[in-house]
Amino acid sequence: MMAPQSVIWKLDDHTRAKHIILRKYLDAWLPILIREGRSGLLIDGFAGPGEYVGGEIGSPLLMINAYQLHRAESLRRGRVKFLFVELDPRRAAHLRQKLQAHLQRQPLPATATYEVYTGRFVDAMTNLLAGGCRHYDAMFVFIDPFGFSHAPMDVIRNLMGCPRCEVLITFMYQEINRFLEAVYRTKRQHYDALFGTPAWQMLLLDAPDVQTRQRRLHDLYRQQLLTVAGARYVRSFCMRDRKNTTDYFLFFATKHRRGMQEMKRAMWKVDPTGNFVFSDCTGLEQGFLLQNDDPEILATLLYEHFRGHQVTIDEIEEFVMADTPFFKYKSSLKLLEDRQQIVVCGEEGRRKGTYKDPTLLIYFR
Ligand SMILES: C[S@@+](CC[C@H](N)C(=O)[O-])C[C@H]1O[C@@H](n2cnc3c(N)ncnc32)[C@H](O)[C@@H]1O
């Protein structure tokens, strides 16, 4: 999509899908991380004007709603701050108006505050980090630019250095295409900053086709989130349209297994409207459709990965969260146990098919 010039614009299916993910994730994230004696910072780094032409709400109001409408009362006992960053002063002003009107009808409790910062994401983050982010116990940063620029890897690394920080990044596929085909040479520094390395240039040199180049750039970005930004779990989800072409990637990066588990749960829950579907795109050539919950698929992955080894349930869960599109694994273990492909060691009195204890040892025959 070409970046609109008007203050507000029409909501498209892609953004609608992204909003479903965001809302489902926040519904899970908020009560885990914000409760009595704890505080959280939610950042919308490319906030937009707060509404669309048809009156639909934008991501900042969606975040506020997720907080206000959440059933967990414990949320209101923790402190929360919303920081909305928008470069375009007209959109920032529109957003302020929308927020004021909304909060007049439905005020925030004293434990919650918000700020609209008019300016660049990079500057807002630099200010934030200079002031120290240590007074927040948890942070969630939504990075949703039109293109795939203005969010350099070093800023993401600095954010990931804050306590319990997670990022959700829109990585526009079409922009990559444009960038591959057009004037990328004039934008070298810009892309060096985006990836946090000039290595992207080498990847393009001997790539046989566009798909390979795109895959390499995707993999490099993921690798940089892991090694430079210091995330422990990174997965990318891609949105495909009816013709099965990829529209964009959403990268989610976190240091926490539970965060990845909740993001996967949110992804798996997205109801396909028929116009699009989300796939897990991490390391899979065609992407893995997040509709196929046949436990047989994960059972095969687990068996191939651990065959001949004895591992704990905790190690199995780590593999599932970090290296597969799945977040539930117990029914797959049960299949393997029923077929005697695994042997469960010890734990007297354990009921067959149950794997509660994270230290329980499993031998893959
Ligand atoms: C894709 S839109 C955001 C949509 C919004 N997140 C939502 O889901 O409703 C991107 C927004 O980022 C703003 N923007 C562009 N460059 C920016 C920058 N460097 N820093 C902050 N905002 C920027 C644009 O003006 C635009 O409103």
**pLDDT above 70 coverage of the chain, percent:** 91
Minimum mean pLDDT range among 43-52, 140-149, 175-184: 175-184
User: How high is the pLDDT of residue 112?
Assistant: 97
Give the whole-angstrom CA distance, residue 252 versus residue 225: 9
Q: Does residue 190 register a pLDDT over 90? A: no
The domain that contains 129 carries what CATH number? 3.40.50
pLDDT in tens, 232-242: 999 988 877 66
Interval between CA 158 and ligand 1 midpoint (Å): 20
Q: Is 87 touching ligand 1 by the criterion CB < 6 Å?
A: yes
**Same domain flag for 274 and 355:** no
Instruction: Please indicate, yes or no, whether residues 329 and 204 belong to a single structural domain of this protein.
Output: no
User: What average pLDDT does the segment 96-117 reach?
Assistant: 97
The yes-or-no verdict on residue 310 having pLDDT over 90 is yes
Pocket test for ligand 1, best of 46, 127, 168 (most atoms within 8 A of CB): 46
* Residues 170-186, mean pLDDT to the nearest whole number: 68
Structural domain span for residue 353? 295-364
- Alpha carbon of 218 to ligand 1 centroid (Å): 22
- For ligand 1, atom 2, name the residue with the nearest CA: 48
* CA–CA separation, 328 and 32 (whole Å): 19
Q: What integer best gives the mean pLDDT of the chain? A: 89
Looking at the structure, tell me whether residues 243 and 307 fall in a common domain: no
| Predicted local confidence at residue 100, as pLDDT | 98
Radius of gyration, CA atoms only, the chain:
22
120 lines ligand 1 (CB under 6 A): yes
Question: Is the Cβ atom of 84 under 6 angstroms away from ligand 1?
Answer: no
Question: Which three-class secondary structure state does DSSP give residue 208?
Answer: coil
The whole-number pLDDT of residue 285 equals 58
Determine the atom of ligand 1 nearest the C-alpha atom of 91. 27
| Any atom of ligand 1 within 6 Å of the Cβ of 170 | no
Residue minimizing CA distance to atom 8 of ligand 1 = 59
Same domain for 328 and 276, yes or no, is no
- At residue 186, the pLDDT reads 65
> In the predicted model, is pLDDT for residue 291 greater than 80?
no
Q: What is the pLDDT of residues 316-336, one digit of tens each?
A: 999 999 999 999 999 999 999
Residue nearest to atom 27 of ligand 1 (CA): 48
- pLDDT of 183: 58
Q: Is 145 in the pocket of ligand 1 (CB under 6 A)?
A: yes
CB-ligand 1 contact for 196 (6 Å cutoff): no
Query: For the residues 95-109, what does the mean pLDDT come to?
Result: 98
Q: Which of 242-251, 275-284, 308-317 has the highest mean pLDDT?
A: 308-317
> Does one domain contain both 38 and 176?
yes
Does the beta carbon of 27 lie inside 6 Å of ligand 1?
no
Indicate if the alpha-carbon torsion angle 318, 325, 209, 223 is positive or negative.
negative
CATH assignment of the domain containing 301: 1.10.10
Select from 228, 260, 289 the last residue of a domain: 289
Question: Structure tokens of 220?
Answer: 């490099």
Question: Ligand 1, atom 13: nearest CA belongs to which residue?
Answer: 46
Longest dimension (CA), the chain: 67
Q: Is residue 332 part of a domain?
A: yes
Supply the pLDDT for residue 117. 98
- For residue 4, tell me if it sits in a domain: no
Instruction: Compute how many other C-beta atoms are within 10 angstroms of the C-beta atom of residue 9.
Output: 15
Whether residues 169 and 300 share a domain: the answer is no
Nearest atom of ligand 1 to the alpha carbon of 121: 20
Q: How far, rounded to the nearest angstrom, does the alpha carbon of residue 125 sit from its chain's CA centroid?
A: 18
Report how far ligand 1's centroid is from the alpha carbon of 147 (Å). Answer: 9
Clarify whether residues 346 and 271 are in a common domain: no
User: What is the pLDDT, as a whole number, of residue 17?
Assistant: 85
Same domain, 224 and 310: no
Q: What is the pLDDT of residues 335-348, one digit of tens each?
A: 999 999 999 997 67
pLDDT at 51 over 90: yes
Of 26-35, 192-201, 207-216, the range with the lowest mean pLDDT is 207-216
Q: What is the mean pLDDT of residues 39-67?
A: 97
- Cα separation, 159 vs 32, in Å, equals 20
